[in-house]
Copies of this chain bind each other. A is one copy, B any other.
Amino acid sequence: MNNNLSHKNWKNRLHDIIYEADTPIGKLFDVILLILIVLSIVFVMFESVKGLPIKTYTLLYYAEWIITIFFTFEYIARIISIKKPTSYIFSFYGVIDLLSTLPLYLSFFITGSSALLAVRALRLLRVFRILKISRYIGESNRLVKAIRDSRAKILVFLFAVLVLCIIMGTVMYIIEGEESGFKNIPISVYWCIVTLTTVGYGDIAPVTPLGQFLAAIIMIMGYGIIAVPTGIVSAEYTHHQSNKVHLNTQSCSHCSESEHRDNAKFCHKCGENLHNENE
CA distance A209 to B189 in the complex (A): 12
Q: Give how many A residues have a beta carbon under 8 Å from the other chain's beta carbons.
A: 105
By beta carbon, the residue of chain B nearest A273 is B271
Is A121 within 8 A of B156, CB to CB?
no
**Which segment, of A9-17, A85-93, A108-116, A194-202, faces chain B?**
A194-202
Flag if A127 contacts B45 (CB, 8 Å).
no
Measured CB to CB, the nearest residue on chain B to A147 is B228
Q: Which of B157, B194, B265 contacts A268 (CB 8 A)?
A: B265
- Contact flags (1/0) for A77-116 with B, using CB distance below 8 Å? 0000000000000000000000000000000000000000
Identical chains in the assembly: 4
Residue of B nearest to A122 (CB): B174
User: Cβ of A130 < 8 Å from any Cβ of B?
Assistant: yes
> In whole angstroms, how far apart are the Cα atoms of A152 and B49 in the complex?
34
Q: Does A232 contact B (CB under 8 A)?
A: yes
Residues of B within 8 A of A67 (CB): none
Tell me, rounded to whole Å, the shortest Cβ–Cβ distance linking A170 to chain B. 5
**CA distance in complex: A199, B199 (Å):** 5
**A267 close to B (CB within 8 Å):** yes
Does A1 count as interface, using CB distance less than 8 angstroms? no
How many whole Å from A64's CB to the nearest CB in chain B?
14
Chain A residues with CB under 8 Å of chain B are 41, 44-46, 48-50, 121, 124, 127-128, 130-131, 133-134, 137, 139-140, 142-143, 146-147, 150, 152-154, 156-163, 166-167, 170, 173-174, 178, 183-187, 189-190, 193-203, 205, 209, 212-213, 215-216, 219-220, 222-224, 226-243, 245-246, 257, 259-273
